[in-house]
Amino acid sequence: MKAIVISHPGGPEVLQLQEYPKPQPGPLEVLIAVQAAGLNRSDVLQRKGGYAIPDDAPATIPGIEVAGIIEQCGAEVTQWKQGDKVCALVVGGGYAEYIAVKEGQCLPVPEGFSFADAAGLPETTFTVWSNIFQRGGLQPGENLLVHGGSSGIGITAIQIAKAMGANVFVTVGSTVKGETCLELGATQYVNYKTQDFEQELAKKGIDVILDMVGGEYLTKNINILRPEGRLVYINASAAKPELDIIKIMQKRISITGSMLRSRDYAFKKALAEEVFKNVWPMITSGKYKSVIYKTFPFAEAADAHRLMESSEHIGKIILVMN
Ligand SMILES: NC(=O)c1ccc[n+]([C@@H]2O[C@H](COP(=O)([O-])OP(=O)(O)OC[C@H]3O[C@@H](n4cnc5c(N)ncnc54)[C@H](OP(=O)(O)O)[C@@H]3O)[C@@H](O)[C@H]2O)c1
């Protein structure tokens, strides 16, 4: 099969279309003929090198979410059959013509969604559900702040939280990004390049924060959280800021975070069931729409990475099979 391979750590140009052995599905796995693959920031970090990936992920093929058609089912697969259209969270290897993945990490391509639309769902919806709702415990009527509101994660968080009855505030790097977030259901955006989010949101009373920035945002986050507020990390810069423990006690704030990719199959399967029960109905009822900034043919994965690194995009960047 053809796959996009990281020929060696480096810039986007190291992504090369090469021949690679076609995977064989294990007993609990399905073999997906990949039609589209979503890009994620971790693909860029993996390409650059020095980024820890799980042991069972192919070291040289990036890609952690795909959509396609099931071509073959392992002997113990019960959920799916040949020809089913699915999207799947995968541990790596998504930039390829075929991928074998455990059946519990697949979900059906929602009605009305193309393969490109569906390829952008698994990593974002799983991450948002597990961090904002399971860990952050966001409730209807509460105020959520999402840093990086225009990211793939951000546009997903806005729409799901809004559909769940929460008010969503976001930080973004431009007015255009902010306006898109408002169109998707956000209540207010703060352009972090020209405004101080602590100052802008000080009086709002934020209940949950989803942070992918870390560093100096820690103190500001804690300052704007309400008593009983929850701060959830899904990424952070290398900076190690000081933590005011007294404030944590005074406001009874919970700080947590998680990394999805390294979680075990049992967790991902249970999460897929939760996402299917809670998020898929939002999609089929039209409360959640796919936000694709640009699609690229698989062979142009390097250009897709260049776009992601420019941070110009709003929403998802998707690779599509010709
Ligand atoms: N822990 C997990 O399991 C998990 C899972 C998935 C994703 N993630 C993380 O979630 C983040 C988003 O992932 P993605 O794939 O959706 O990436 P993405 O679309 O490339 O988005 C990254 C975003 O970060 C924003 N940003 C950069 N500096 C910022 C700052 N100082 N304040 C506010 N926003 C800032 C950028 O917006 P501007 O251009 O406007 O600055 C951009 O929208 C990444 O950090 C990724 O590693 C974690």
- Between the CA of 36 and the centroid of ligand 1 the distance, in Å, is 21
Q: Are residues 105 and 151 in the same domain?
A: no
Residues 20 and 116 in one domain: yes
Domain end (from 257, 280, 305): 257
For residue 281, being part of any structural domain is answered with: no
Residues 18 and 93 both lie in one domain: yes
Q: Does the Cβ of 4 fall within 6 Å of ligand 1?
A: no
Ligand 1 mutation target, pool 41, 90, 146, 158, most atoms within 8 A of CB: 41
Question: 3-state SS string over 186-249?
Answer: CCEEEECCCCCHHHHHCCCCEEEEEECCCCCHHHHHHHHEEEEEEEEECCCCCCCCCCCHHHHH
Residue 248 and residue 205 share a domain: yes
Q: Are residues 249 and 309 in the same domain?
A: no
- Among 40, 46, 65, 151, say which to mutate for ligand 1: greatest number of ligand atoms within 8 Å of CB: 151
Are 13 and 35 part of one and the same domain? yes
Q: Which amino acid is at 219?
A: T
DSSP per position, 234-258: S---S------HHHHHHHT-EEEE-
Token pair 């058609």: residue: 69
Kindly state whether residue 32 falls inside one of the protein's structural domains: yes
Atom number, ligand 1, closest to the C-alpha of residue 317: 19
User: Any idea what the CATH number is for the domain that residue 184 is in?
Assistant: 3.40.50.720
What are 247-305's pLDDT values in tens digits?
Answer: 999 999 999 999 999 999 999 999 999 999 999 999 999 999 999 999 999 999 999 99
pLDDT at 170 over 90: yes
Same domain, 56 and 148: no
Q: What per-residue confidence (pLDDT) applies to 168?
A: 98
**What pLDDT is stored for residue 122 in this prediction?**
98
Residue closest to 181 by CA, chosen among 291, 82, 275: 291
What total of structural domains would you count in the chain?
2
Quickly state the pLDDT bin for 322 (edges 50, 70, 90).
confident
Q: Which amino acid is at 291?
A: V
- Residue 63: CB atoms within 10 A of its CB come to 30
> Residue 201 in 3-state DSSP?
helix
33 shares a domain with 79 = yes
Domain termination residue (choose one: 257, 278, 310): 257
Domain that holds residue 69: 2-120+290-320
Q: What is the residue whose two structure tokens read 């009855």?
A: 165
In a domain, 88, yes or no: yes
Over residues 174-217, the pLDDT tens digits come to 999 999 999 999 999 999 999 999 999 999 999 999 999 999 99
Q: Is residue 189 situated within a structural domain?
A: yes
Atom of ligand 1 nearest to the CA of 123: 6
Residue 105 in domain: yes
> Both 129 and 253 in a single domain?
yes
Q: Coil, strand or helix: which one is 319?
A: strand
Indicate which residue's Cα is closest to atom 16 of ligand 1: 152
Same domain flag for 112 and 165: no
For residues 139 and 166, give the distance between their C-alpha atoms in angstroms, rounded to a whole number. Answer: 7
For 283, other C-beta atoms within 10 Å of its C-beta total 22
Residues 191 and 84 in one domain: no
- How many CA atoms does the CB half-sphere of 155 hold within 13 Å? 23
Please state at what angle helix 175-183 crosses helix 152-163, rounded to 10 degrees: 30
In a domain, 52, yes or no: yes
Residue 267 resides in a domain: no
> Ligand 1, atom 48: nearest CA belongs to which residue?
234
Q: Are strands 292-297 and 254-257 parallel, antiparallel or unpaired?
A: unpaired
Report residue 59's pLDDT band, with 50, 70 and 90 as the boundaries: confident
Sign of CA dihedral 235, 314, 12, 268: positive
Closest-CA residue, ligand 1 atom 31, reads: 213
- Looking at the domain assignment, is residue 198 inside a domain? yes
Domain ends where: 257, 282, 308? 257
- 116 contacts 261 by C-beta, under 8 angstroms: no
- Please report the atom of ligand 1 found closest to the CA of residue 154: 16
Are residues 236 and 140 part of one domain?
yes
Q: Is 316 a pocket residue for ligand 1 (Cβ < 6 Å)?
A: no
Cα of 149 vs centre of ligand 1, distance in Å, is 8
What is the CATH number for 69? 3.90.180.10
Work out which ligand 1 atom sits closest to the CA atom of 130: 3
